[in-house]
Amino acid sequence: MTQAIYLYGSEVLRAKAEELDLNQKEEIQALIADLKDTLAKADGCGLAAPQIGISKRAVIVDGTGMVDVYDYLAGFKRVMINPVITWESEEQCSYSEGCLSIPGVYADVVRPSKITVKYYNEDFTEVEETFDKFAARMVQHELSHLDGVVFTDLVAPIRKKMISKKLQNISKGKVHPHYSAKIK
């Protein structure tokens, strides 16, 4: 079921998410279904459970809508339950990021170029996988949400000052995204 996306200023976006109990399969499957439906409706490339008001460690990433820019993302969809970054490269890169919880704001963020993540997939099978390029970017962005970090926390101080008014307006509800959203 499609859920409202919590916007910048919502407390749930600043909390460290709790691990999911893998024995609660039905609840996890329902959460994953809600994440998928909500992401499809919002037309994004990733969504974390805290963004729909649930402070649990689950994310989905879907790069298939970006194939025209990054052809290597063809078929790139992941469900990650209780993900943990086990390795990150020393090499870093900068990309412009945006976020469904911070509509209309984009800024360059420096992150590791490659990462390895251990997680459970939607079949509850443990996976360890290495990501690079924009796939690594999407995964890192969503995993940051699980630790209460939004991408604007990671931008250069001068850029943060430049976007501060937009962030204030979002936190006051002065934004109208094309998807259901709320602040709480």
Cα separation, 66 vs 135, in Å, equals 10
- List residues bridging with 112 in a β-sheet: 92
Output the six-digit token pair for 94.
Answer: 């900068």
Contacts of 136 (CB under 8 A, 6+ apart): 111, 112, 113, 114, 115
Q: What is the dihedral of CA 8, 147, 30, 123, to 10 degrees?
A: 140
Q: How many CB atoms lie within 10 A of CB 59?
A: 29
Instruction: Based on the residue annotation, tell me whether 142 is a catalytic residue of this protein.
Output: yes
Q: State the alpha helices, DSSP H only, in 43-105.
A: none
Q: Which of 19, 26, 88, 142 is catalytic?
A: 142
Cα separation, 132 vs 73, in Å, equals 11
Cα separation, 143 vs 148, in Å, equals 9
Could you list the active site residues?
A: 142
